[in-house]
Amino acid sequence: MKLGICDTTFARVNLAAFVKDEIESNYSDVRMVFCTVPGVKDLPVSAKRLLELEGCDAAIALGMPGKEPIDKQCAHEASMGLIQAQLLTNKHIIEVFIHEDEGKSEKDLYSICENRARKHAHNAVWLVGHPEILAKRAGTGRRQGREDAGPIQQ
DSSP letter, residue 41: G
Report the alpha-carbon distance of residue 16 to residue 36 in Å, rounded.
9
The CATH number fitting domain 2-136, selected from 3.30.590.10, 3.40.50.960, 3.40.50.300, 3.40.50.1860: 3.40.50.960
Half-sphere exposure of 78 (CA within 13 A, CB side): 28
Single-letter amino acid, residue 112: I
Domain residue limits, the chain: 2-136
Report the alpha-carbon distance of residue 90 to residue 20 in Å, rounded.
24
pTM, two decimals, is 0.95
- Tens-digit pLDDT profile for residues 23-69: 999 999 999 999 999 999 999 999 999 999 999 999 999 999 999 99
DSSP letter, residue 6: E
- Three-state DSSP at 96 gives strand
pLDDT (0 to 100) of residue 68: 94
Q: In what order do the strands lie in the sheet with 31-37?
A: 31-37, 2-8, 58-63, 93-97
- Tens-digit pLDDT profile for residues 68-78: 999 999 999 99
pLDDT (0 to 100) of residue 38: 97
Please choose, from the candidates 18, 19, 12, the residue with its C-alpha nearest in 3D space to the C-alpha of residue 39: 12
- Tens-digit pLDDT profile for residues 118-151: 999 999 999 999 999 999 999 999 999 989 999 9
Q: Please report the sign of the dihedral spanned by the C-alpha atoms of residue 80, residue 82, residue 88, residue 94.
A: negative
Are the C-beta atoms of residues 108 and 11 closer than 8 Å to each other?
no
Single-letter amino acid, residue 130: H
pLDDT (0 to 100) of residue 154: 85
